[in-house]
């Protein structure tokens, strides 16, 4: 079946530094990738949608300069949290789908970001 690999699974960084999270589709071409943020005991909040080769579409209220998304190839999307602050600490999850719908929104295993 479709597999999405997300790396790293956990990261601790100092306040003011930047962190990059990778999301890879291993056995299919991900025409669209989604980035979510999940707060403790809360549902998933869609941050942005990215299509290969084009700029990401951000949801209302999400700072595009803070959360940089790059979808440079059909198998890789990255989320960079720039100048991270403690309030950016959260669980970030990516999801990918292909044009045929076979991947059907396969999710990565998530990244626990802690900013100290």
Partner 1 sequence: AQSVTQLDSQVPVFEEAPVELRCNYSSSVSVYLFWYVQYPNQGLQLLLKYLSGSTLVESINGFEAEFNKSQTSFHLRKPSVHISDTAEYFCAVQGGSEKLVFGKGTKLTVNP
For tokens 């990244």, name the residue: 111
Among 52, 70, 89, 112, contact with partner 1 (rule: CB under 8 A): 112
Stretch that binds partner 1, among 14-22, 68-76, 80-88, 95-103 (CB under 8 A): 95-103
From 12-20, 67-75, 79-87, 105-113, give the range in contact with partner 1 by CB under 8 A.
Answer: 105-113
Question: In the structure encoding, which two tokens stand for residue 107, read together?
Answer: 């999710």
Helices (H), 6-46: none
Q: Rounded distance, CA 109 to CA 95, Å?
A: 9
Tell me how far apart the terminal alpha carbons of the chain are, to the nearest angstrom: 37
Q: Token pair of 92, please? A: 């970030």
Establish if 74 lies at the interface with partner 1 (CB under 8 A).
no
Looking at 60-68, 70-78, 80-88, 94-102, which segment touches partner 1 (CB under 8 A)? 94-102
Mark residues 33-52: x for contact with partner 1 by CB under 8 A, - for none: -x-------xxx-x--x---
- CA–CA separation, 78 vs 89, rounded Å? 17
Please report whether residue 29 would count as binding partner 1 according to CB under 8 A: no
Spatial distance between the Cα atoms of 75 and 100, rounded to a whole number of angstroms: 15
Binding-site ranges for partner 1 (CB under 8 A): 4, 6, 32, 34, 42-44, 46, 49, 91, 93, 95, 97, 101, 104-110, 112
């Amino acid at each position: 079946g479709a597999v999405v690999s997300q790396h790293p699974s956990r990261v601790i960084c100092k306040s003011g530094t930047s962190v990059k999270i990778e999301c890879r589709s291993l056995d299919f071409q991900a025409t669209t990738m989604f980035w979510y943020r999940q707060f403790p005991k809360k549902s998933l909040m869609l941050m942005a949608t990215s299509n290969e080769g084009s700029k990401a579409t951000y949801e209302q209220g999400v700072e595009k300069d803070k959360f940089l998304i790059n979808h440079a190839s059909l198998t890789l999307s990255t989320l960079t949290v720039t100048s991270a602050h403690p309030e950016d600490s959260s669980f970030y999850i990516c999801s990918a789908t292909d044009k045929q719908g076979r991947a059907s929104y396969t999710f990565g295993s998530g990244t626990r970001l802690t900013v100290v």
